[in-house]
Amino acid sequence: MTETKLMALREAVNLAMSEEMRKDENIYLMGEDVGVYGGDFGTSVGMFEEFGPKRVKDTPISEAAIAGAAIGSAITGLRPIVDVTFMDFITIALDAIVNNGAKNNYMFGGGLKTPVTFRVASGSGIGSAAQHSQSLEAWLTHIPGIKVVAPGTANDAKGLLKSSIRDNNIVIFMEPKALYGKKEEVNQDSDFYIPLGKGEIKRQGSDLTIVTYGRMLERVLKAAEEVAEQGINVEVVDPRTLIPLDKELIINSVKKTGKLMLVNDAYKTGGFIGEIATMVTESEAFDYLDHPIVRLASEDVPVPYARKLEQAILPDVSKIKEAIIKVVNKGN
């Protein structure tokens, strides 16, 4: 029987890193405030004491230098985990990631691996304002050679992070900062891995498929449970990784329900859910649709600092429920 423990998402991230670092001395953690402070979101508490300053390395405040150092060390055979803190800060590191790390495997015919996991606290919901609240996955999914992982539960975060650390490519690992403190049952097996590219149906249904990930998973599941009282049966598909994407899982679900809604908390224009919508329209699932595909996402405005304004621009349970009812009733 699998042993589980009630853990917050930040604790699951800590456990995943610690387990992998105990297994492989080439794995190390680097970033701002990851050492004695334990990480800006508490994700590396206790790791400095266990692994020491050579393997839990505090860095200067320069994301460009951090990314360059990480990619350089990966080329030499190490496996760095980089705590970028806020996802917004990855913009400063994009040259090293996009123009170097993501290209190495291809340009050297598979002979030069670049196993770096960039952990980023993504999304809004904690009042961090416009420069610390973005979900920029669409920028990164556009680049061949980068894998993008987006867990929505603590247990998924553990299993997916362990697989990310073992991957030989650049991996962007999105951690929904609004869920860092949410506690769930987490698998305690040190050999628990969730393969990248394998999604999961979080709720079975027959009337509508909703594809969502990260922070919005919690809200979509709650909305699905509430509309079930009205006899509406929603299927919730969590891809868990955006690149590689479990296309077959999504297509099969849409073929079953005939309707598709996509929900995330990134900006709507140019967001990754638009890519999922296009993928479905180009597949055999298109002929099964009996309602236009619907997208719910953040408004195309900088994220406000004021909590009420911040919540107003995001999909919440009531907005998701309203959209579900509209789609299902119109489709019928």
3-state SS, residue 24: coil
Predicted TM-score (pTM) of the model is 0.96
pLDDT per position as a tens digit, 95-108? 999 999 999 999 99
Q: Whose structure tokens read 């305690």?
A: 188
Q: Do 148 and 137 form a contact (C-beta atoms < 8 A)?
A: yes
Catalytically annotated residue among 11, 19, 63, 175: 63
3-state SS, residue 312: helix
pLDDT per position as a tens digit, 32-67? 999 999 999 999 999 999 999 999 999 999 999 999
Name the token pair of 138: 């669409």
Per-residue confidence band for 331, with pLDDT thresholds at 50, 70 and 90: low
The rounded radius of gyration (Å) of the Cα atoms in the chain is 20
132 is catalytic: yes
Average pLDDT, the chain: 96
pLDDT at 332 over 70: no
Catalytically annotated residue among 11, 19, 32, 132: 132
218 is catalytic: no
Domains located in the chain, CATH noted: 4-187 (3.40.50.970), 200-331 (3.40.50.920)
Q: Give CA–CA dist 103/270, Å, rounded.
A: 23
Give which of 63, 76, 66, 77 is closest to 29, Cα–Cα: 66
